Structure formats: C-alpha cells, structure tokens
Amino acid sequence: MFSFTKKQEIFDISGIEIGGQPGRYPTVLFGGVFFKGEPDFERTRRHLQKMLTLSKKTGNPVIPDFFIRKDEYIEEIITFIEKTLPKNHPFSIDIIEPSIKIKTLEYLHKKNLLPRTIYNSIHIGITDEEREALKKYTPEMAIIVAFNPKDKSPDGKVEVLENGAHLLDIGLLELSKKLGIEKILVDTAALAPGENSGASIAALPVIKEEYGLPVGCAIHNVVEKSKWLNDFESARKIVDSSSNINIPVFGGNYAIFGPIENADMVLPIIAWQDILVSEYTENYFGISPVEFHPRRKLLQ
C-alpha cells in the first residue's frame, strides 16, 4: 500500500471525484455496457439500476461505459443515456472506429452532454480528424491509454505519455492538454497474458508518483484472454471480478471492470479492498477517508 510524494490530482466530473492519495476516495468503477446487435435497452436499464443501487450501498461511485460500434445506434444510445441515467450523472463512451467517435462527439455536443462525458479513449492511433473533433467538441474528461507497442514495460508506458514513443509528434499528456482536455485519467493498458500483462499493474504507482494523475486499467481484459481458465469455469467469474483488487492495492483510482452484469460481485469485492487500504493508510500515513467511503458506510 502506498502514499505518494507527488501532489495527487483530484478531478471532479458531475460530482464524482477521481484521484488523490490511496485511502482517501473510494475506487471508481466503470461498468461496460455492451450491445450485441440491436441495443436491448430494457435489459440495460435493469443492470444500470442495480449498479447504481449497489453504489449507494457501498460508497463506490459507478460510471457506465457505453460501447458504440455502429453509427446507426449513436442517437438511440445517447438518447437512452439522457433519459435513463440520473440527472447530471457522468458516463463514458468507448468507441474504436474514429469516424464513429467524431459523429458521437458531434451528437453529444448537440445534446449538451459533453460536460458529463468521459472520452474513452485517446491513444497513439489518434487521427488528425479525431484531434480536430476533440478541439471543437471537447469532453469534460478523457482516458489516455498508455500503450506502447515498442516497450510494454512501465517505462514504455511513461515514454508514450511523455513523447508518444516517437510514434506520434507529441506525448499523449501534452496532446490532451492541447486539445483542451485538462481532466485526464491514465489507463495503464492491460494486455494479453504473455504480453507483459503484469506491467499494467506495476505501472500504476509509477505513473502516480511521476505525474500525480488518477490511474487505473481494465485488468479484467487479461482474465478474458486467459484461455486456461476455460478449464475452471466455476472460478472464471470470480477470478474476473477479483482481479480488480490489484488496482486499489497498487494505488490506483479507478477500474474498468468489464460487463456491467458483474457489478454485483465487483462492488462488494472492491469495497472490501478499499476498507483494507483505508485502514492501513490512515493508521500509517494519516490519510482519512471521505464520509461516503466504504469504510464509513459499511463499518458503522
């Protein structure tokens, strides 16, 4: 468990605070909203309500992470977000195709939703058109993926933040600020087993100490790609959910924990770990948890 010498940034988006020294704020949890084919909004509504209820119980803030894969669903999904989420509740949009990213930004601007938007994500594959769209339609917050294909170690992740690993004309941190995005979350890029996947966890304290920025990752991606777990089907979901414990243990601030359907397992597990971290950091470093921390809400 850690305490950092670098001043730790705390960013607010619509009332949810992310960052700070370990033990102060609860881990923020991003639940993935995936649609296979045509969106099933009724099913998604039930899962969202369940995740929000669990959040109130444990104290861990939750943010739905909407995957948008086809441009014909942009308006439907954004309208669903606007009508279903509590007023001003933040959300993230997770999009691969640059052209869909641009169209989604335009529509979010049209609906006045950019102040609630976390852009997932900016990485070395960013196009010139995407840069221009982000300048014009700037989200409140963005996730920067510290993926360096040349060096997958923690040092390589720092390099891509600093200078783009010479694969871009500029480092990702400076690029984000030039685009007008001041609230930055660093994703340490969890890779497949055999691809130095553990470096995504080792990089969490490295980046927090170097920059003081909120950090996290989607460590569950490593579990998804661990084919050997297919021989242990009854344990697979437990391993997937509990893998997120690594993030608060190593000083991280947020976890992209996978499908929103797993919220019922992930939230109690992370609340439990947040309590352990808080007990230690307060006793050893004098860092008191906020009033809505799981340690305050669940240990009464």
Whether the predicted pLDDT of 300 surpasses 80: no
DSSP state of 85: S
pLDDT tens for residues 126-169? 999 999 999 999 999 999 999 999 999 999 999 999 999 999 99
* Separation between Cα atoms, residue 161 and residue 147, nearest integer Å: 9
Q: Is the peptide bond before 234 cis (omega within 30 degrees of 0)?
A: no
* Separation between Cα atoms, residue 59 and residue 191, nearest integer Å: 29
User: What pLDDT is attached to residue 48?
Assistant: 98
Q: Are strands 183-187 and 215-217 parallel, antiparallel or unpaired?
A: parallel
pLDDT tens for residues 32-70? 999 888 899 999 999 999 999 999 999 999 999 999 999
Contact present, 161 and 207 (Cβ < 8 Å) = yes
Fold of 13-298: TIM Barrel (3.20.20)
* Separation between Cα atoms, residue 130 and residue 173, nearest integer Å: 16
DSSP state of 12: E
- Residue type (1 letter), 84: T
Q: What is the pTM of this model?
A: 0.97
- Residue type (1 letter), 140: E
Q: Which residue ranges make up each domain of the chain?
A: 13-298
User: What pLDDT is attached to residue 282?
Assistant: 96
Share of the chain above pLDDT 90, in %: 97
